[in-house]
Amino acid sequence: MAGIARLIVALLCCTVAASGCALHRDNPAEVAPIPHPITPPSQEAIKASIDRGVQFLVGNQNSNGSWGNVRHKAFNIIMPVPSGHHGVRVAVTALSVTALIEAGQGQPGVAEALARGEEWLLVNIPLVRQSSTDVMYNNWAHAYSIVALTHMLRRDSGDDARRERIRTVIQHEVDRLVRYQHLDGGWGYYSFRLTSVPSIAASASFITATIMIALHDAQEAGFTVPKKTIDRAMASMRIDRRPDFGYTYTNLRGRYPQWDINEPPASMGRTQAGNTAMWLWGEKATTLPIIRAWLNRFFARNYWLSMARKQVYPHQGHFGIAAYFFYYAHYYAGLCIDLLPPEERPRFHGYLANVLVPLQEKDGSWWDYPLYDYHQQYGTAFAIMSLRRCVESSQPPAATQ
């Protein structure tokens, strides 16, 4: 039997050699397909697309300063009332405010929209609660609120009382995330087991990554994030991480790494956020070659995400991909590009713009999943912040490690 096995291996090696290929033992996380060459949109086209998106947000703000509404359709995801909707609206409003701060300065109506949106956030963020014992949309709200608030803090330098008010709410959100950290070290947004605080629910790798990035924003703004909190979160992410640096959907599903939802095509919606989070917090195993490889894979195999976009049911796409990962994934791909050396970014920015600009709707919005009346707002905010990175004059400096 052993002789037959050796013969098969020898024949395979001869076949590979004859084809001009070479067997290799590279790190599987650093091996990826290269996307086909493209002609990316011009800088003028990208800027025009951003401007249209900004005007969509300005024109679709609620009278109270928030973004997003309850609009029932035939099929919707579970949404506890009223706390679930409040958490989602806070998250969507925070994303919209962040997008307008990043890309809307000087455009008509933006200053007024930001004034209303920021005030609504300062009043409503502290009112966010865990949605129910099995639904935790509040974690999305806490994460994106920190991102929006740190943007607000950086741009608002003239009013000391307002700055102190913003800082108080940021500290509140950091404390909430520390409080809601699951026993397995991460954070999630669903639990179909009995939960308490801290929850015994299985963490979701992508929301853990989202929160880690938000907490890094808080630390950069001068807030203290407990080291124990981050150490536990990183340990949770390592459990979710496959050898190829794809991330399983949750700790629970990690027991079955070959489920379709845990495979690389599905992980493209999560790995960009995971790589960004682990890099920012100093994970030595997350290297630039791995980040670069997953960006190449992201754009070479983008069709897996594209086929799921605008599907009606969650996880309806191939490999269990949910439509609502589309613009989320592209936003975090933009953050991954930020980590590369400046000379490497334009190529990936070109691919990013090439995906997003053609998908803009006639009304200036972007959307990927019909989520009540929140989808156009969050999709547009993610797309604006992604495209903003594709504008040459606004490329941020490379992170160092």
CATH number at residue 63: 1.50.10.20
The answer as to whether 14 is a domain residue is: no
The answer as to whether 8 is a domain residue is: no
pLDDT number for residue 219: 98
Q: Does the predicted TM-score (pTM) go above 0.85?
A: yes
- Which tokens sit at 336? 């991954």
The answer as to whether 58 is a domain residue is: yes
pLDDT number for residue 81: 81
- Give the integer Cα–Cα distance in Å for 241 and 228: 20
The answer as to whether 353 is a domain residue is: yes
pLDDT number for residue 82: 81
User: pLDDT tens, position by position, for the chain (401 residues)?
Assistant: 445 544 443 444 443 333 333 334 578 888 889 999 999 999 999 999 999 999 999 999 999 999 998 876 666 777 788 888 899 999 999 999 999 999 988 899 999 999 999 999 999 999 999 877 788 899 999 999 999 999 999 986 678 899 999 999 999 999 999 999 999 999 998 876 654 454 567 899 999 999 999 999 999 999 999 999 999 999 999 999 999 999 998 876 556 667 888 888 889 899 999 999 999 999 999 999 999 999 999 999 999 999 999 998 888 888 889 889 999 999 999 999 999 999 999 999 999 999 999 999 999 999 999 988 899 999 999 999 999 999 973 444 333 33
Q: Which residues contact 215 (CB under 8 A, 6 or more apart)?
A: 146, 174, 177, 225, 229, 230
pLDDT number for residue 15: 39
- Which tokens sit at 159? 């009013």
The answer as to whether 50 is a domain residue is: yes
pLDDT number for residue 193: 61
- Which tokens sit at 70? 């309850």
pLDDT number for residue 367: 96
- Give the integer Cα–Cα distance in Å for 129 and 86: 9
The answer as to whether 253 is a domain residue is: yes
Provide DSSP, 352-371. HHHHHGGG--TTS---SS--
- Give the integer Cα–Cα distance in Å for 147 and 166: 12
pLDDT number for residue 21: 39
- What is the number of domains present in the chain? 1
Alpha helix (H) residue ranges in 185-317 = 205-220, 227-240, 264-280, 288-300, 303-308
With contact defined as beta carbons under 8 Å apart, do 53 and 359 qualify?
no
- Give the integer Cα–Cα distance in Å for 152 and 158: 12
Determine the Cα angle at 8 with ends 7 and 10, to 5°: 65
Radius of gyration of the chain (CA): 22
pLDDT number for residue 252: 63
pLDDT number for residue 332: 98
The answer as to whether 20 is a domain residue is: no
Give me the domain span that covers residue 225: 29-394
- Give the integer Cα–Cα distance in Å for 276 and 265: 18
Q: Is 158 exposed, middle or buried (0-12, 13-18, 19+ CB in 10 A)?
A: exposed
List, in sequence order, every residue forming a beta bridge with 373; answer none if it has no partner: 69
The answer as to whether 18 is a domain residue is: no
